[in-house]
């Protein structure tokens, strides 16, 4: 059973094939992908294929991918995931994106809080990591607000502009 997460304003649900237009937008919009080193999505079929890849990874227990939706609206406005689990499943990486028209409203903060709580209380992770571009001030601010700490000793192989933030379960303050 997929872990649907509910916050004050959001529903974090499974990714569906009908989310293809939103996935295409999130993977091709310049404002969304500015700090991500990958080619923009070139079409709807590529977005659909990406959804299928994420579903496969989820079935293989390699990731949990949530579509972020406002409670009163079925439209996908962003995504958030736990993935890149360590072999012992005690550490995972969090990743997220959000349509620009929903920025600066505290929505990603709400979604991130729900995913952190799920990761620590339900999956029993010891640590959650986030890799973000050194110039992505909004992402860095979000992570710091939630108690993540920059680890200046670690580097992201092949992505020298990324910084690695870590949040340990025993340091996380529940709201």
Assigned token pair, 17: 């094939």
Mean pLDDT of 132-138: 96
Instruction: Pick one of 2.40.110.10, 3.40.630.30, 3.60.9.10, 3.10.20.340 as the CATH number of 5-171.
Output: 3.40.630.30
Residue range 151-164: mean pLDDT, rounded? 92
pTM of the shown model: 0.95
**Beta strands 63-70; 76-83: pairing state:** antiparallel
Delimit the domains of the chain by residue range.
Answer: 5-171
The mean pLDDT value for 116-123 works out to 97
* pLDDT tens sequence across 81-118: 999 999 999 999 999 999 999 999 999 999 999 999 99
Among residues of the chain, what percentage have pLDDT more than 90? Answer: 91
Give the tens place of pLDDT for each residue, 19-54. Answer: 999 999 999 999 999 998 778 999 999 999 999 999
Give the mean pLDDT of 8-12.
Answer: 98
Q: 159: pLDDT confidence band, cut at 50, 70 and 90? A: confident
pLDDT at 174: 59
In sequence order, what are the residues at sequence separation of 6 or more whose Cβ sits closer than 8 angstroms to the Cβ of residue 111? 5, 7, 10, 12, 66, 68, 78, 80, 96
Task: Report the percentage of the chain scoring pLDDT > 70.
Answer: 99
Q: Could you tell me which residues are beta bridge partners of residue 67?
A: 13, 79
Spatial CA neighbour of 129 closest among 173, 63, 174, 85: 85
Is it the case that residue 175 has pLDDT exceeding 60? Answer: no
From CA 169, how far away is CA 175, in angstroms rounded?
14
Residue with tokens 């933030």: 165
């Amino acid at each position: 059973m997929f872990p649907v997460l509910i916050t004050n304003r959001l529903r974090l649900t499974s990714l569906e094939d009908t989310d293809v237009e939103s996935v295409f937008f999130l993977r091709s919009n310049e404002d969304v992908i500015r700090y991500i080193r990958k080619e923009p999505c070139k079409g709807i079929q590529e977005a659909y294929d990406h959804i299928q890849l994420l579903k496969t990874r989820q079935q293989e227990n390699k990731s949990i991918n949530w579509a972020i939706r406002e409670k009163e609206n079925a439209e996908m406005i962003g995504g958030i995931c736990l993935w890149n689990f360590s072999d012992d499943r005690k550490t995972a990486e969090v990743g997220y994106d959000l349509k620009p028209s929903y920025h600066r409203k505290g929505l990603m903060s709400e979604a991130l809080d729900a995913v952190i709580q799920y990761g620590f209380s339900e999956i029993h992770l010891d640590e959650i990591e986030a890799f973000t571009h050194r110039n992505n001030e909004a992402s860095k601010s979000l992570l710091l607000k939630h108690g993540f700490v920059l680890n200046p000793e670690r580097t992201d192989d092949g992505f020298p502009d990324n910084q690695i933030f870590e949040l340990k379960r025993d340091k996380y303050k529940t709201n």
